[in-house]
């Protein structure tokens, strides 16, 4: 099984893998999606689609019956990989950053309030300002950074694929393939733009929520229970959820992920407290 994009069939295969999901889709509707991709500038003939579907069936990526096509288990796995590569379909970096930044901010606010013996009202104001600042900063940074990074990535991928397609001997097929790639990447830019907004929003929301939970527990519960519960919340969020999430996505053993997380969080918290003390 080869996934080099070297001809029109390969381009259509990628598009089909991105568009299909677990549910069956009629070949007529799939053809309409492909025609929509072409935007009337060129046409994908039925034989090209049939050839692509036949090759995907032989590779075990889809099953075709009664005029419908559906991804197999293997096809779903490959589809997910293509979607993650081309669409950046899951905001892994944003969620990790949001949990880490929010937890550090929440813990620093709690420890600073405890050390400085701040009143509940002052702690609440400081907490809201801190969390709002970090959440908004994360949102704007990841939105602008994501748009910039994705634009550069899409241009690089498009250039590589265009170069690979330049060797097609048939001039007509070469033209259709290059036009199909161009429109495919225009579609990817549109979808990535929407995903960037959702990812940045997820980062900002995750930052605020993960920081607000320990602070809320600290302000609402009586001492010393408030400190114990706040530290426990931070420990659960970072030590369990964050470690599990990172380990499952990176396929790195959880012990290594736990060590990395503890070291990074400790450095960030100690640095923040030292900076607060100096001020």
Q: Crossing angle for the helix pair 92-116 and 120-165, nearest 10 degrees? A: 160
Domains and CATH numbers, the chain: 8-86 (1.10.10.10), 92-142+192-278 (no CATH)
Q: What is the pLDDT of residue 40?
A: 60
Q: What is the pLDDT of residue 128?
A: 93
Higher pLDDT, 36 or 75: 75
What is the greatest pairwise CA distance in the chain?
A: 78
DSSP strands (E only) in 57-193: 62-65, 68-71
The pTM of this model reads 0.77
Q: What is the pLDDT of residue 138?
A: 94
> Can you tell me the mean pLDDT for 125-134?
93
Give, for 176, the enclosing helix (H) or strand (E). helix 171-220
Q: What is the pLDDT of residue 134?
A: 94
Band the pLDDT of 42: cuts 50, 70, 90: low
Q: What is the pLDDT of residue 180?
A: 84
> Can you tell me the mean pLDDT for 151-155?
86
Note the pLDDT tens digit of each residue in 231-264. Answer: 899 888 887 778 888 888 777 888 888 888 788 8
User: What's the chain's average pLDDT?
Assistant: 85
Residue 69: strand pairing partners: 25, 64
Q: What is the pLDDT of residue 127?
A: 92
Of residues 261, 247, 262, the one with CA closest to residue 92: 247
């Amino acid at each position: 099984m080869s996934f080099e994009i070297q001809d029109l069939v390969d381009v259509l295969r990628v598009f089909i893998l991105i568009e299909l999901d677990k549910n069956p889709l009629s070949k007529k509707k799939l053809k309409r999606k492909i025609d929509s991709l072409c935007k009337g500038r060129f046409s994908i003939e039925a034989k090209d689609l049939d050839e692509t579907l036949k090759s995907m069936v032989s590779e075990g990526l889809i099953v075709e019956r009664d005029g419908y096509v559906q991804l197999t288990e293997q096809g779903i796995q490959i589809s997910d990989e293509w979607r993650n590569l081309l669409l950046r379909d899951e905001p892994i970096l944003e969620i990790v950053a949001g949990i880490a930044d929010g937890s550090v901010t929440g813990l620093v606010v709690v420890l600073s309030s405890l050390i400085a013996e701040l009143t509940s009202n002052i702690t609440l104001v400081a907490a809201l300002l801190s969390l709002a600042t970090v959440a908004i900063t994360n949102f704007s940074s990841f939105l602008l950074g994501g748009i910039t990074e994705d634009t550069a990535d899409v241009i690089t991928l498009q250039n590589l694929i265009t170069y690979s397609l330049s060797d097609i001997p048939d001039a007509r097929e070469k033209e259709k393939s290059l036009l199909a790639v161009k429109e495919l990447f225009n579609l990817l830019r549109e979808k990535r733009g929407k995903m960037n907004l959702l990812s940045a929003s997820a980062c900002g929301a995750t930052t605020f929520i993960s920081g607000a939970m320990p602070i809320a527990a600290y302000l609402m519960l009586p001492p010393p229970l408030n400190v114990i519960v706040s530290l426990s919340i931070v420990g659960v969020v970072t030590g369990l959820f964050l470690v599990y999430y990172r380990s499952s996505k990176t396929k790195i053993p959880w012990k290594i992920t736990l060590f990395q997380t503890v070291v990074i969080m400790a450095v960030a918290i100690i640095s923040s407290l030292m900076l607060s003390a100096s001020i």
